[in-house]
Amino acid sequence: MRKIKQLYLYLKQLEQVLRLRSLSDEELSVLKQKLSDSENEHVVALTRMVQPNMNERDFYNLMVPIERLLDVTPEDESFEVTHKDATNKKAATAPVVFILDHLRSAYNVGSIFRTAEFFNLEKIICTGYTATPDSSKVKKTAMESAENVQWAYEKDTLKAIKNLKDQGYNIYALETSSNASNLNTSRIEFPCAFVLGNERFGLLKEVLCYTDRTFFIPQRGKKNSLNVSVCSGIVANEVVQQWTS
C-alpha cells in the first residue's frame, strides 16, 4: 500500500501539470513504471491506459480507481468545470433573496452561493451561526461565485425577515409541514425571500409563523428530505422560471 500511496502523490502532481500542458514522454514513462511497481494487479492493469497525449478525462479514468482503492476523497476544486466563465453581460437580477437560517455546514453555504450566482439571484442573508463568505470553507466551495453575489449577515433570523417584509418582500419558507403547498404548482409573488433552515432541524416554529407561505418540493422516492444546497437549486430554478415567464 505504501507504493500505491506514493503513486497517488505522483498522480496529484501530474493532475496539476495536465491543467497547463500535455504530459511529456518522460512523465508518462515514469507513470507506467510506478503503476507496474505497485505490486497490485488491479493497479498494474491500468498501465494500458497510459497513452501519448492523454487528456484530463483519460487521466481521471486512471486516477479515480486508485483514489477508490485508497479511500481518498478528492478536494472540491477537482470538480470545477474547466471551461471559462461567460464574459458577456449577466441577465437581469432576479428579485429573490435566500435567508440561510443557522446552517451548520460551511460547504452547503458555499454551494448555495454558487447556485445564487448561477441564477443571478439578488442576495443572500446569513443568520445565526451560518458561515459567511469570510470563511475559507465557504470560499472553497463557492469557487469565487461569492464575489458576485450580494450578501449580508444578521444574527437574528426574525429581524432579517422583518426587514425584508418592511421592504415589501413576500417571505416564503421551504419546509415539509402539513400546511405546505407544492412549489411546482404554486404561484410565486415577487420580490420574494426564501428561508432555508438547518440541515438537521429545519426551521423553528417561530420562524414559520413570520413567513407568508410555506412550500415543499414534491417527493417521488422513499426519502423525504434533500440536502439544503440541492433544495436551493430546485427553488432557484422554479422561481426564476416563474419570474421570467
Contacts of 74 (CB under 8 A, 6+ apart): 67
Closest CA to 15 of 88, 74, 72, 68: 74
User: Does some domain include residue 80?
Assistant: no
CATH of the domain at 158: 3.40.1280.10
pLDDT band at 220 (very low <50, low <70, confident <90, very high): confident
- Cα dist from 22 to 26, 48, 56, 139, whole Å: 11, 18, 9, 29
Residues 109 and 153 in one domain: yes
Question: Do 98 and 199 sit in the same domain of this protein?
Answer: yes
* Edge-to-edge strands, sheet with 181-182: 150-154, 121-127, 94-101, 192-196, 170-174, 213-216, 181-182
pLDDT digits (tens, 9 = 90+) for 63-88: 989 988 988 866 555 555 555 666 56
Task: Report how far apart, in Å, the C-alpha atoms of 18 and of each of 49, 68, 205 are.
Answer: 16, 21, 51
Please tell me the predicted confidence (pLDDT) of residue 90: 73
In a domain, 83, yes or no: no
197 located within any domain: yes
Poorest-pLDDT segment among 66-75, 121-130, 214-223: 66-75
What percent of the chain clears pLDDT 70, i.e. is strictly above it?
Answer: 93
Tally the domains of the chain. Answer: 2
pLDDT of residue 140: 84
> Given a cut of 90, is residue 237 above it in pLDDT?
yes
Of 139, 134, 195, 190, give the one whose Cα is nearest residue 167: 190
Range of the domain at 210: 94-244
CA atoms within a 13 Å half-sphere pointing along the CA-CB vector of 100: 29
Reading the block at residue 14, the C-alpha cell is 501530474
Q: Is residue 32 part of a domain?
A: yes
Cell reading at 196: 432555508
**Between residues 103 and 178, which one has the greater pLDDT?**
103
- Given the DSSP bridges, would you call strands 213-216 and 170-174 parallel, antiparallel or unpaired? parallel
Q: Percent of the chain beyond pLDDT 90?
A: 69
Residue 141 lies in a domain: yes
What integer pLDDT is reported at residue 200 of this predicted model? 86
Q: What is the mean pLDDT of the chain?
A: 90
pTM, two decimals, is 0.75
Please give the pLDDT value at position 72: 80
Q: What integer pLDDT is reported at residue 203 of this predicted model?
A: 93
Q: What is the CA radius of gyration of the chain?
A: 23
Are both 11 and 57 inside the same structural domain?
yes
Instruction: Report the pLDDT value the prediction gives residue 57, as an integer from 0 to 100.
Output: 83
Cα separation of 9 and 68, whole Å?
A: 14
Tens digits of residue pLDDT in 89-103: 678 999 999 999 999
**Residue 217's pLDDT is what?**
94
Residue 203 lies in a domain: yes
For residues 153-165, give the mean pLDDT: 97
